[in-house]
Amino acid sequence: MDRRKFLINTSVAGLAATSIASTSFKASEIESSGQTDNNLFKDNFELNEVTIDQLQQMMKEGKLTSKSITQLYLKRINAIDKKGPAINSVIEINPDAIKIAEEMDKERKAGKLRGPMHGIPVLIKDNIDTADKMMTTAGATALIGNIASEDAFVVKKLRAAGAVLLGKTNLSEWANFRSTRSTSGWSSRGGQTRMPYILDRNPSGSSAGTGAAVAANLCVIGIGTETDGSITSPASINGLVGIKPTVGLISRSGIIPISATQDTAGPMGRTVKDAAIFLGILAGIDAKDPITQESKGKAKTDYTLGLDPNALKGKKIGVERSTFTRRNEDVIALFRENIELLKAQGATIVEIDLNSKVNAALGNAETEVLQFEFKDGVNKYLATANAKVKTLADVIAFNNANKETAMPYFKQETLIASDAREGLNSKAYKDAVEKLIKSRSIINDLMKENQLDALCGVSNGPSSCIDNINGDYGTGFSFSGPAATAGYPHITLPMGMIHGLPVGISFVAGAYQEAEIIKIAYAFEQATKKREAPKFLTSAIPKAV
């Protein structure tokens, strides 16, 4: 989640199994890759922009194996994530990755195929438990050494599907719920992740590492988590497809929490079909997360069924009117261009007011709910975790005792404010929750009154610059809030580039309408093909002529 979103009403945001501490550019990192000024090294990686289907076909034909694919991605991570251009998106490599890949190859040879993810390497965010040799830290030095006793439910689903757990990605520390002045993509354990299109730009948070890694072709697909914008924002910023599903579709057990009301995991990929494949793998009912019971009879095992390039024909889409009042005329022009493309594909467009209605109804309720639930959730998680800190108060004390490493740029006022909250039985909490769920009726009413199939807006503006000293600053565009507070599904995908930076378009609908907005997004993707691979520019400043 972009934790400043509800505070400033905008969003930005070695192979060793240990920490990575890079926080700034080094000349040697750029020189080692052959880059000079703003010229790029030649990126000839053989798996660039590959899809899940293509990898499966190559394994079927014997051109590649799961082991060789895994080795290629590990080599890629070592070459461009850890050295030049030093994206710094992977916080830890799974030392068992090759072993898992070999097992999947043996199964394939024996005629056992588990499904579309069989043998496919995956990166996951470092707030998701894995009962292996990797730590789960949410990027916090306070949690270094925390090796989970049990896989998170989504990790169990991945393993059962035959996926190869390649490693874990860096994130905004505590999923960007530590400070009001933090920098997205920075953690005290992992350092600063950079966005692969222009390296001095912010990859956005909090799933910054997953976003940057998938965009840079360090894996084919990855998992992010979102409370408000943490999948959709880095997906938009990094030219990806990101799906924030209905809260309840995917279990949160084994994921370091912020909010029981809003948290969810979700896929981040380079194509709609890949993200849809992955969503079907992750979904499922989990006794340890009771809200998943609500997905019974509503979830699908295959979200690729019915994908049709003509699916926009006859659709009625509500477009967020406030987008046209924002300050960046380039983004507005790009959005208008894509609205015309929607119309050309047979969609009817209706202007609606969603953000203003939700903001007016909620006030400060989201901030309050998240602080109450963060304290409750983190205390419960730490109580049984294999970490040296056992409460949120312990985390705060650890950070105070280790300021130079834990808090070199910004502090922990959000942690402190959360720890000061009462329990979930307090009237203040219950009142805030009541306000928060009004988002649902606002979305439902808008869609019913206008007979809409989806709501649409600009996911985010172009990425802002990395600024560890002052923290994130806004782009003036965000469409994550209403779906996040309602717990409703939201998909983003590329709609074009502005000055070398990706910009995403969002589609939102009611509870458990993932299949419908995936179909809309797929048709838009097939008609536009706006995804561009990153060029790893050192800065946005053009070379003087």
List, by residue number, the catalytic residues: 125, 206, 230
For the range 464-469, what are the long-range contacts, defined as Cβ-Cβ under 8 Å and sequence gap of 24 or more?
464/12, 464/13, 464/201, 464/202, 465/200, 465/201, 465/202, 466/183, 466/185, 466/192, 466/194, 466/200, 466/201, 466/202, 467/183, 467/202, 468/23, 468/24, 468/183, 468/186, 468/192, 468/409, 469/409
Q: Report the phi/psi class of residue 62: left, alpha or beta, with left for phi > 0 and alpha for psi in -120 to 50.
A: left
- Do residues 51 and 223 touch, judged by C-beta distance below 8 A? no
Which amino acid does the sequence have at 250?
Answer: I
Which residue in 432, 429, 441, 434 sits closest to 366, CA to CA? Answer: 432
Question: Sign of the C-alpha dihedral, residues 505, 509, 513, 516?
Answer: negative
- Reduced to 3 states (helix: H, G, I; strand: E, B; else coil), residue 419 is helix
**3 state SS for 420-440:** CCCCCCCHHHHHHHHHHCHHH
Contacts of 200 (CB under 8 A, 6+ apart): 25, 194, 465, 466, 538, 539, 540
**DSSP classification of residue 543:** P
Measured in whole angstroms, the distance separating CA 196 from the mean position of its chain's CA atoms is: 15
**DSSP classification of residue 78:** I
Give the Cα separation of 427 and 423 in Å (integer).
9
- Reduced to 3 states (helix: H, G, I; strand: E, B; else coil), residue 390 is coil
Residue with tokens 């959000």: 414
